[in-house]
């Protein structure tokens, strides 16, 4: 068994959107996942969340279309 990180409530204030902050936050979460040797990151978002649903696949997350659940798998996990 390996840990999986859960990303909840990624939100950037309206006045700071369009500045790549969301991508930076996700990259930081992915790096934390690698450092801690977790298996991946999971998150869920509303189907109506157009910006999020466009962003997560660009950041390497795969979509479970039935549930609108995304998962990013750490390419370098270590089970030891």
Q: Could you list the pLDDT tens digit for every one of the 80 residues in the chain?
A: 889 999 988 889 999 989 999 999 999 999 999 999 999 999 988 889 899 899 999 999 998 777 767 888 999 877 65
Give the residue from 32, 26, 23 showing the smallest Cα distance to 4: 32
Question: What distance in Å separates the CA atoms of residue 44 and residue 1, rounded to the nearest whole number?
Answer: 22
- Alpha-carbon radius of gyration of the chain: 13
pLDDT of residue 61: 94
Look up the pTM and report it. 0.79
Kindly compute the dihedral angle of the four CA atoms of residues 74, 60, 29, 40, in this order, to the nearest 10 degrees.
-30
- Asked if 38 contacts 11 with a C-beta cutoff of 8 angstroms, the reply is no
């Amino acid at each position: 068994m390996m840990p999986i990180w859960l990303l909840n409530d990624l939100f950037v204030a309206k006045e700071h959107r369009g500045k790549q902050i969301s991508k930076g936050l996700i990259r930081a979460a992915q790096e934390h996942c690698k450092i801690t040797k977790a298996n991946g990151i999971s998150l869920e978002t509303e189907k109506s969340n157009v910006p999020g649903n466009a962003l997560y696949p660009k950041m390497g997350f795969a979509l479970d279309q039935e549930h609108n659940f995304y998962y990013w798998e750490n390419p370098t996990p270590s089970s030891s």
